[in-house]
Amino acid sequence: MTNDSMIKTRIQLKLEHDEEKKVDFTQISSLSDNSEKEENYIDDLTFNDLNLKNIFKKIDKTFTTPGQEVLYHMLRRPLIDKEKLEARKKIIDSFEKNQKASDDVAETLFKLDKTFANSKSILWSEFQDSELLSVVSKALAITPIIWIILGIVLMAPSYAFLFFANLIVNSILNMKIENALMGRTKIAGYLAETIKTAERIADLNLEFLGDYNSNLKELTKSCRGVKRAGRLLTKIIKFNELLDIFNNIFVLEVNCYFVIMKQLKSRKEELRQIYYIVGEIDTILSISNFRKMQSNISDPMFVEEKYLKMTDMVHPLIKEPISNNVVLDNHGIMITGSNMSGKSTFLRTVGINALLAQTILTTFSKEYKGSIFYISSSISPEDSIVEGKSYYLGEAEGILRIVNKSKLKVPTLAMIDEIFRGTNPVERISAAANISNYLVENNALPLIATHDLELTKMVNNFKFFYLKEDVKDGGMTFDYKLREGISPTRNAIKLLKMLGYPKIIIDTTEEQIKHYK
């Protein structure tokens, strides 16, 4: 088997089994965490509500660390510019149609691979290496040479003892210096390799990459000093076991690091651009490869009016999903239904598909037609408790984000599950009705799930749907299909019966409920 065919085989295996990998989200969030958070930014509550870590793992087919960082950055920032969406889709389509181009770029990126070092330590944060460490490293590299020369010139075997003592000291200090640099030697070498990868991509001269080619050629030309300084460092890192003794004697890795950092600090902005462009190309190729492996996807169609329609949409993380339809035409949707009937999953399905439409230009539906949205949710506000806030305060803050976004020019797609479930029924229902009406009267398309049937009588410009259950042989089954109307059933007491609650609790509760009806 030739080297090229071996690489292609390894690439194919990687694409097929990539969902099984572990992802260090602390590492790959460096780019996103150090970028501006504008109105389109997916906040932490929405990110967790939509289970975007697992969505990331499902769609991630990137080959490099810059690719992973850009894909994560992309999922946190759905595009709201139609022209940018169309430009991204054009490149995705070009990779899908041109297998040779796809293979060539994949092989180039595959050789760069991923690093466990964190780019934040060099690219996205301001730091100052200790000048003393640089001086000490140089001194450690010189002293073994001095003992060798003196031993030869003076014909004194005692200098051999000094040389080996120096070797031990250098090994210990070398390790301490590397620890003090917190892995920055590894990322410095990786950045030098990233420049080389950028040059190789530009040299492919793929017409559909357009400005990426010219930008990479110009940027890599200005960073040649960094690449040259990084060549030896990358070889030392790559062949660490073979060169270990020389590295310990002459502190090679650390000294190469300080040389490369002199070049790197003067070219940090250019390096950031190279890193992002390589990552963006990797991400777009990743999207193309992901789409090739799916059978139940469609391309989104974007419209100007405040509107959303999805036909046969499914949740991408559910193995045997039940499809549903949704239409919001300048109105809201209120979903009622019993516990476990699938209301929260339905909200997540809508939110995930809208986000994927505006990021990877792909939806898990037969048809997607809608506005370009800001996307925001309040489905699982439990995280606020970990931050030391009360449940209700966490809910109130989460929903306020959505209320404020509804006043902006770009419409907000809002998914809310049980408004203010953390407070008393009287205040909850009144506040929920007014919030629901406020959202739909302003620039939002709200989807609201609730157990409070009274709420359906207090809202305007909403359409009502429900999810139901069947009770059979002492158990409950759910078909997870959305039906028009208001839920005619409740299942809270049925669940208590199934769990074996004392009969007196069940009977007394059912008797009391009759007085409320």
Query: Domains in the chain, ordered, with CATH?
Result: 3-126+182-223+267-292 (1.10.1420), 300-516 (3.40.50.300)
Distances 137 to 121, 251, 293, 498, 506 between C-alpha atoms, Å: 20, 7, 50, 71, 77
pLDDT, average across residues 122-132:
69
* Confidence at residue 476, expressed as pLDDT on a 0 to 100 scale: 73
Q: Rounded mean pLDDT of 204-211?
A: 95
Of the listed ranges 131-140, 299-308, 334-343, the one predicted with least confidence = 131-140
Mean pLDDT calculated for residue range 474-489? 84
pLDDT reported for residue 384: 47
Question: Residue 469: is its pLDDT beyond 70?
Answer: yes
Task: Using alpha carbons, list the distances in angstroms from residue 35 to 20, 123, 205, 421.
Answer: 29, 12, 30, 34
pLDDT for the residue 468: 84
* Average pLDDT value for residue range 182-201: 84
How confident is the model at residue 97, as a pLDDT? 95
Amino acid 385: pLDDT: 43
Tokens 């505006």 correspond to: 358
Report the pLDDT value the prediction gives residue 206, as an integer from 0 to 100: 96
Distance CA 349, CA 263 (A): 48
CA atoms of 123 and 289, how far apart (whole Å) = 28
Average pLDDT over residues 25-54: 94
Tens digit of pLDDT for each residue in 208-261?
A: 999 999 999 999 999 887 777 777 666 666 666 556 666 666 677 677 777 777
DSSP SS3 for 326? strand
Please give, one letter per residue, the 3-state secondary structure of 412-428. EEEEEECCCCCCCHHHH
In this structure, the strands spanning 444-450 and 412-417 are: parallel
Supply the mean pLDDT for the chain.
86
% residues pLDDT > 70 (the chain): 84
pTM of the model: 0.86
